[in-house]
């Protein structure tokens, strides 16, 4: 902490003048004062503050001040966000802030027109708003002079950092930061923003990479207002729509739903009830989403139904109420969603849960219990990302026009996702990629081989822009305007039958399919079924599952439960009256033994495969339990002895998880799996699909 002048006085004269006279600030928030000291002291920072707590200003007031005082050359600042929508939303704000000191900002993502990109490359802006995928495009595209473009880079601001760190995009971003640091030849300052992260010190370590700057976690004060939370039970989606239509008339309401299909269904039901309803999800066109979000922001008595995409800070105007149909899978998501409310003076954050099933009702009750205890999930960075290293090796070979065999590791060695990989791991990865002709070596330089070109060279290497794979989709077009997209396999499943579906909250019937162009032409229909999209997930954490066990086994009545919710939870407790508060518990029902572990889906998946090996037969799993069938169900005593052996031997171990993972080698979780030799492939699958630590803790009781 700086003992020098007040935070505001450390800003450049131009910034001080503009903050007071242009923005009308009469005082800075505490988190902004702390951040000014940390950033101007030269620290890498993780800045934590509630949603709408002033995090953007916390980062950009001192960064723009330094730009002004030290006369930084463009491009000197990157602002990286996880979604295009958030970039678009921040464009006006950051453009305004940059202009206050005579500087410019520019947004580059997949929807940015080519002409605008060309103008930017001729006259770069000072602040570049972008995504990791667009940064990769710039680094590997021969049309972008990346070395010149990023020679002046001084600082990177990463918004909603938890959305990156929790998956492969975080590993991709960490790698790109190392490549950019080498381009500009300086220790780039790294600043991350989040409202919800349970392990900020670990995130700070992930953020640093090769940087030797001091690090600082900046915590804003928590919200003073006690949130207004209610848990209700409504039984089904139709009743949920009825309740939403009746609640808070004349107010602006945001409804979160856990799948695109249910967004469509609930939005359509609300419109049928005469509610002014908008909707947004990732399969709608950018124009449809932007129009819905704009109309909602301008409206008053209306509802917008959304997936988790609207968690991430997008401004939809003054919001009165958040409603959640069923439950998200984490406390962090709940906090992000509830944080969209309570932003106006005299209002409180609020959220109403509308559960449609007993299981999701109990899950919501467990989430509220964890929230009351102050728990927020830690976000664990990848540390053995061999598949990410393969991606980066391929990208580097394009970036450099062939990468020196003795130099490629120096570009990436400090990136956190590779800290857990040994010299042998890296050697086996490179050998496999060469043997499989994914890479080719010519003298001492590595480039894409024949198989690498086949796998990743399509459409001008677009397969290498992003670390994630996307489902094959078809554009849906009505009267020349794009509405959104549906998955190819959904359309194919109809065969020769007439096909209709709901998209954008409206019913459509297919009139023509242009397979060669990837376009589905539609006309309005009176009624239609629902489109189907591929869905991942469903696994809950061990911590949440233990909280579910607590809800089922104690007699606590939460005052936030409605009478209907309380009645249903009491019924759930009666149905599970056999459960004990702790430890794995074997229960035989209809001669089918069931082991209640409350270990979480990934841990139970591992235990199920190990049980099949030990006992034979078939063992199925879910988040809460294992069910034994065929030979595995023949002896309760054998199951008890198997559990005792695991406890005694302190298993499952990581080696157990790697051994089990071979059975999942047919699954395609990453498009870079073909780059991995058998040992690294099994280690990757084990890390993604299993949880040996959680399983071991569950067996201990």
Among residues of the chain, what percentage have pLDDT more than 70?
93
Q: Comparing 574 with 490, which gets the higher pLDDT?
A: 574
pLDDT at 1 over 60: no
Output the pLDDT for position 348: 82
pLDDT at 2 over 50: no
Classify 679 in phi/psi space as left (phi over 0), alpha (psi -120 to 50) or beta: alpha
Q: Which helix (H) or strand (E) holds 199?
A: none
Mean pLDDT of the chain: 90
692-700 and 654-661 are packed helices; what angle lies between their axes, rounded to 10 degrees?
120
Fold topology of 386-464: Arc Repressor Mutant, subunit A (1.10.10)
Among the ranges 488-502, 522-536, 664-678, which has the highest mean pLDDT value?
A: 664-678
pLDDT at 535 over 60: no
Among residues of the chain, what percentage have pLDDT more than 90?
67
**Cis-peptide into 577, omega within 30 deg:** no
Residue 255 to residue 267: CA distance in whole angstroms: 9
Q: Which CATH superfamily is domain 7-219 in?
A: P-loop containing nucleotide triphosphate hydrolases (3.40.50.300)
pLDDT at 273 over 90: yes
Q: What pLDDT digit, counting tens, does each position of 7-30 carry? A: 999 999 999 999 999 999 999 999
Output the pLDDT for position 285: 80
Output the pLDDT for position 313: 58
pLDDT at 594 over 60: yes
Domain with CATH 3.40.50.300 in the chain: 7-219, 237-359
pLDDT at 439 over 60: yes
> Shortest CA distance to 38 belongs to which of 175, 157, 129?
157
Give 363-423 as a DSSP string.
Answer: HHHHHHHHHHTT-----PPPS--HHHHHHHHHHHHHHTTSEETTTHHHHHTT-GGGTT--H
Confidence category of residue 493, pLDDT binned at 50, 70, 90: low
Q: What pLDDT digit, counting tens, does each position of 74-103 carry? A: 999 999 998 887 898 899 999 999 999 999
Residue 303 to residue 517: CA distance in whole angstroms: 35
Confidence category of residue 291, pLDDT binned at 50, 70, 90: confident
Output the pLDDT for position 13: 96
Domain with CATH 1.10.10 in the chain: 386-464
How deeply is 555 buried, as exposed, middle or buried, from its count of CB atoms within 10 A (0-12, 13-18, 19+)?
Answer: exposed
- 188 contacts: CB under 8 Å, gap ≥ 6: 153, 154, 155, 156, 177, 180, 181, 211
Q: Identify the CATH number of the domain defined by range 237-359.
A: 3.40.50.300
DSSP letter at 227 equals P
Confidence category of residue 415, pLDDT binned at 50, 70, 90: very high
For residues 156-168, average pLDDT? 91
Q: Token pair for residue 469? A: 């794979």
pLDDT at 137 over 70: yes
Output the pLDDT for position 49: 86
Q: Token pair for residue 259? A: 């799948």
């Amino acid at each position: 902490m700086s003992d020098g002048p007040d935070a505001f006085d450390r800003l450049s004269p131009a910034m001080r003048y503009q903050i007071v006279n242009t923005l009308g600030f009469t005082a800075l928030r505490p988190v902004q004062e702390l951040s000014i000291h940390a950033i101007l002291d030269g620290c890498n920072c993780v800045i934590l503050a509630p949603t709408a707590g002033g995090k953007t200003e916390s980062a950009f007031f001192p960064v723009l001040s330094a730009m002004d005082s030290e006369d930084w050359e463009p491009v000197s600042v990157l602002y990286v966000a996880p979604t295009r929508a958030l970039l678009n939303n921040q464009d006006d704000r950051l453009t305004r802030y940059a202009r206050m000191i005579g500087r410019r900002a520019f947004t580059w993502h997949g929807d940015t027109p080519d002409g605008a990109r060309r103008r930017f490359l001729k006259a770069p802006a000072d602040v570049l708003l972008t995504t990791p995928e667009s940064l990769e495009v710039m680094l590997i595209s021969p049309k972008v002079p990346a070395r010149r473009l990023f020679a002046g880079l001084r600082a990177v601001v990463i918004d909603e950092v938890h959305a990156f760190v929790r998956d492969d995009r975080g590993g991709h971003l960490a790698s790109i930061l190392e490549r950019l640091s080498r381009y500009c030849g300086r220790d780039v300052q790294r600043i991350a923003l989040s409202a919800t992260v349970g392990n900020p010190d670990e995130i700070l370590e992930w953020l640093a990479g090769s940087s030797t700057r001091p690090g600082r976690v900046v915590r804003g004060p928590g919200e003073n207002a006690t949130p207004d939370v209610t848990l209700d039970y409504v039984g089904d989606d139709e009743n949920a729509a009825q309740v939403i239509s009746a609640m808070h008339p004349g107010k602006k309401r945001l409804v979160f739903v856990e799948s695109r299909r249910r967004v469509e269904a609930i939005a359509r039901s609300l419109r049928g009830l005469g509610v002014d309803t908008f909707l947004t999800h990732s399969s709608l066109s950018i124009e449809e989403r932007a129009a819905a979000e704009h109309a909602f922001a301008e409206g008053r008595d209306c509802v917008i139904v959304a997936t988790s995409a609207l968690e991430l800070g997008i401004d939809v105007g003054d919001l009165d109420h958040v409603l959640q149909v069923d439950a998200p899978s984490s406390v962090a998501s709940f906090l992000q969603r509830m944080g969209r409310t309570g932003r106006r003076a005299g209002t409180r954050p609020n959220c109403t849960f509308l559960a449609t099933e007993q299981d999701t009702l109990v899950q919501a009750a467990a989430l509220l219990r964890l929230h009351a205890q102050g728990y927020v999930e830690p976000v664990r960075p990848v540390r053995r990302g061999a598949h990410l290293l393969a991606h980066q090796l391929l990208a580097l070979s394009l970036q450099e026009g062939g990468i020196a065999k003795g130099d490629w590791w120096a570009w990436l060695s400090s990136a956190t996702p590779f800290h857990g990989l040994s010299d042998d791991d890296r050697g086996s990865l490179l050998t496999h990629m060469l043997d499989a002709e994914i890479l080719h070596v010519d003298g001492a330089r590595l480039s894409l081989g024949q198989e690498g070109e086949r796998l990743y060279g399509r459409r001008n290497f677009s397969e290498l822009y992003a670390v994630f794979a996307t489902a094959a989709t078809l554009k849906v077009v009505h009267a020349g305007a794009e509405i959104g997209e549906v998955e190819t396999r959904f359309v194919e499943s109809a065969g020769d039958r007439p096909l209709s579906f709901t998209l954008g909250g409206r019913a459509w019937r297919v009139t023509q399919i242009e397979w060669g162009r990837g376009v589905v032409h539609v006309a309005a229909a009176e009624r239609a079924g629902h489109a189907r999209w591929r869905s991942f997930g469903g696994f809950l954490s061990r911590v949440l599952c233990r909280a579910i066990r607590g809800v089922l086994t104690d007699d606590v009545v939460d005052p936030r439960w409605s009478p209907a919710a309380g009645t249903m939870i009491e019924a759930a407790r009666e149905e599970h009256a056999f459960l004990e508060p702790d430890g794995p518990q074997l229960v035989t029902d209809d001669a089918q033994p069931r082991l209640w572990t409350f270990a979480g889906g990934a841990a139970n998946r591992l235990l199920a495969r190990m049980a099949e090996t030990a006992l034979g037969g078939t063992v199925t799993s879910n988040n809460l339990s294992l069910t034994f069938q065929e030979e595995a169900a023949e002896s309760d005593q054998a199951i008890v002895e198997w559990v005792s052996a695991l406890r005694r031997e302190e298993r499952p171990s990581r080696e157990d998880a790697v051994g089990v993972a071979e059975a999942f080698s047919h699954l395609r979780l990453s498009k870079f799996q073909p780059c991995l030799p058998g040992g690294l492939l099994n280690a990757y699958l084990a890390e993604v699909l299993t949880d040996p630590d959680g399983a071991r803790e569950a067996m201990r009781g």
